[in-house]
Amino acid sequence: MVSGGFSVYRLEAGIAAPIVGYLLDRIGPQKLVFAGGLITGGGFIYLSYVNTILPFYVAIIIISFGWSAFSGIAVGTPLVGKWFVKKRGSALGIYATARGVSGLLVPLVAYMIVHYGWRSALFILGPVTWVIVLPLSFFLKNSPEQCGLLPDGELSTPNFHDACQTTKMANAKTEVNFSLRKSMGTSAFWVLTICLFTHQITQAAVFVHLIPYLVDLGINSTSAASAVSFIALTSMVGRYGSGWLSDRFNTKWLLVILFIMQPISLFFLVRAHHFMDVIPFVLFYSTAYGGTMVVKAILIGDYYGRKNYGTIFGVIQGLSTFGSVIGPLIAGFVYDINGSYHLAFIFFSIMMGFTALLISFLKRPALVKKAYSNIDKFVC
């Protein structure tokens, strides 16, 4: 039942991403996050009362959709990206790192379950979600222009004395604004979608089957579980580091490097025999996993602009998320036939090698560029 709930969650995440991304661009974050928090809190309370399988899945769908609307990657990532152009990498790196830090709250939830029972813990989480999310939603703004600013915190109304300098600064960083239809007509859209789809296949398979694989190697379950936790922890280095680097180096080639690191890490994994042999895998894979999460969002924003950032990011994220449903099934099928995960991880390694090759052919889509301000009307 729990595994089924995870599958339902992943399917819902893939379906919800385009929807919440579109709503972010159309109605803004305040209404979307408020509604999402309201739904999630109610879903927690409803789940605390379920006794049979069907209501359980209904509750999971309710919580998952609400979560996607107020805290999902298809909302938070493009929302942060809308506020930055030149410093988008650093901003998204910090945001992604903060999302990783939130995992430290899991022991608190576990403590509540152990001492009060899962029903009481869920019933408490409902009102807590409302108290935290609903008031904070009113502080969210869809773009810096709503606050009288330009991206990266620059003032929207220049002084005439600074007109020449401001004009040069504005022209130095322009952005395009693709519609969803125009973005889907570019090769970059589909190259990104396919590459992120294969990345999700590998990522989900690794996270779902890593512990059983390590246990099969003779590593005790506690140590195996700590490897997964360590991946999540050290991925924060990749999240922030990749964001910082993307502001200084070519983002496409940074993503190529991150994709190359994944087959290298899987090579270390299939050659592991003891727990210490797993450490190189953890270091390489966690960096690539965390970095990819940030760099893909930066590329989408840089290529397609801020106006429809949520919609375009949501569609790409939604399509690629379905790979996370396929990946664990492939690994499980291979294990059932061969009694080992080796061939599955070798297959994923080869697939990610081809993915790195494919992403190297990525080209920035062409569209008539429009400066993100009107200040170039000033003549020096």
pTM (two decimals): 0.85
Mean pLDDT (whole number) for 168-193: 80
Convert 213-249 to b/e letters by CB count within 10 Å (16 or more is b).
Answer: bbeebebeeeebebbbeebebbbbbbbbbbbbbbbee
How is residue 103 written in tokens?
């995992």
Mean pLDDT of the chain: 86
Q: Where are the beta strands (DSSP E) in 170-288?
A: none
The pLDDT of residue 374 is above 70:
no
The pLDDT of residue 48 is above 70:
yes
Q: Structural domain boundaries of the chain?
A: 2-141, 180-359
How is residue 316 written in tokens?
């790409």
d(CA 51, CA 53): 7
d(CA 197, CA 293): 13
In this chain, the answer to whether the domains covering 2-141 and 180-359 adopt an identical fold is: yes
d(CA 75, CA 18): 10
Fold of 2-141: Growth Hormone; Chain: A; (1.20.1250)
Which CATH superfamily hosts domain 180-359? MFS general substrate transporter like domains (1.20.1250.20)
pLDDT in tens, 358-367: 999 999 998 6
Three-state DSSP state, 151: helix
Mean pLDDT (whole number) for 63-81: 88
Question: Which phi and psi (to 5°) does residue 175 adopt?
Answer: -140, 155
Q: What's the half-sphere exposure (Cβ side, CA atoms, 13 Å) at 255? A: 27
How many C-beta neighbours within 10 Å does residue 99 have? 16
Mean pLDDT (whole number) for 267-283: 90
Q: Please tell me what DSSP assigns to residue 377.
A: G
